[in-house]
Amino acid sequence: MTTQRRIFAAICRQHIRLSWRNGQTVLAVSFLFIAITLLPFGLGPELKLLRALAPGLLWVVLAISLLTSLERLFQADYEDGALDRLLLVPLSFEAVVLAKLLGHYVALVLPLIAAVPLAGLLLNIEAARLPILVAAMLCGAPALVMAGGIGAALAVSVRRGGLLTVLIAMPFYVPVLIFGAAAARAGLQGGVDVAVDVGAYLGVLAALSAASLLLAPFAIAAALRAALR
């Protein structure tokens, strides 16, 4: 294992370990279930209605749970000096950022997506729709993490930056939600055309994720450097 790869893995593993140990993962998943539980109180317990709305609701709830989990993505490290430390490792800071984001994906996003089928059950979603919904989330979530990362990095020096992070990240969430929900809806109809559609939507989601993976680490690294000056 080369030194650089070892460092990358260490940063990623450290982030995962701390997310679990500080209770971030459990909190985020609980948040998802709490939001899902509140929905029927607002919408009424009508199962047909909930079923019709389920994919969209699950996407929105996933996005919000993710955003709340991102708030402190870099802030603890910024405040306790760990970011200074990470700027001095023999690895480009963009790669350091990517390692942390990958850690976040594994530690928080994957558990959240894993909770989606169960949460879908509460909304009476058809089991047949779940695979496409989960696939769409797996494809689209990296873009959500990257966008949230940009918000978190720009707001890192702001004491109560949570709402600011949300405000900054929200416009980036629009395209992902649109295509994510479209994929989930197309999956409902069945038939050959629809399979093509679903493939296309997943492709668009993956493209959004790929583009943000290419761009966001540079923006995030630049934002963090600016905050450390």
Partner 1 sequence: MAEIENLFSKTQHARDAQCQAEGLACRRGAALVFEDVFFHLTSGQALCVRGANGSGKSSLLRQLAGLLPLAAGALTRPNPHKHTHYLGHADGLKAALSIGETLAYEAALAGQGADHAADLTARLGLAGRDWQYVGDLSAGQKRRLTLARLLLDPRPLWLLDEPMTALDEDGRALVGALAKAHLASGGMIIAASHEPLGFANAELVLGAQI
Partner 2 sequence: MLKALENISAFYANPTRFMGLASRLHGPLWALAVLLLAYGLYRVAHVPADYQQGDTVRIMFVHVPAAWMALFGYSFIFFASVTALIFRHPLGHVAARAAAPVGAVFTLLALITGSLWGQPMWGTWWVWDARLTSVLVLFFIYLGYIALWQAIDEPTRAARAAAILAIVGFINVPIVKFSVDWWNTLHQPASVSRLARPALHADFLYPLLIMGAAFLVLFLAITLTRMQMEVLRQRLRVRARAGASENA
Q: Write out the residues near partner 1 by the rule CB under 8 A.
A: 3, 6-7, 9-11, 14, 17-18, 21-22, 77, 79-85, 87-91, 228-229
- Contacting residues for 215 by C-beta, under 8 A, at least 6 apart: 146
- Nearer Cβ to partner 1 (6/193): 6
63 counts as binding partner 2 under rule CB under 8 A: no
223 counts as binding partner 2 under rule CB under 8 A: yes
The least distance separating partner 2 from the CB of residue 172, rounded to whole angstroms, comes to 6
52 counts as binding partner 2 under rule CB under 8 A: no
Among residues 100, 106, 76, the alpha carbon closest in space to that of 8 is found at 100
With 0-12 CB in 10 A as exposed, 13-18 as middle and 19+ as buried, what is 41? exposed
22 binds, among partner 1, partner 2, none (CB under 5 to 8 A by kind): partner 1
C-alpha span between 220 and 15 (Å, rounded): 17
- Nearer Cβ to partner 1 (83/141): 83
Specify the residue for token string 């994720």: 209
Among residues 136, 115, 113, the alpha carbon closest in space to that of 188 is found at 136
- Nearer Cβ to partner 1 (18/206): 18
- Nearer Cβ to partner 2 (95/178): 178
Site for partner 2 in 154-173 (CB under 8 A): 154-155, 157-158, 161, 164, 167-168, 170-172
Residue ranges in contact with partner 2 by CB under 8 A: 150, 154-155, 157-158, 161, 164, 167-168, 170-172, 174-175, 178-179, 182, 208, 215, 219, 222-223, 226-227, 229
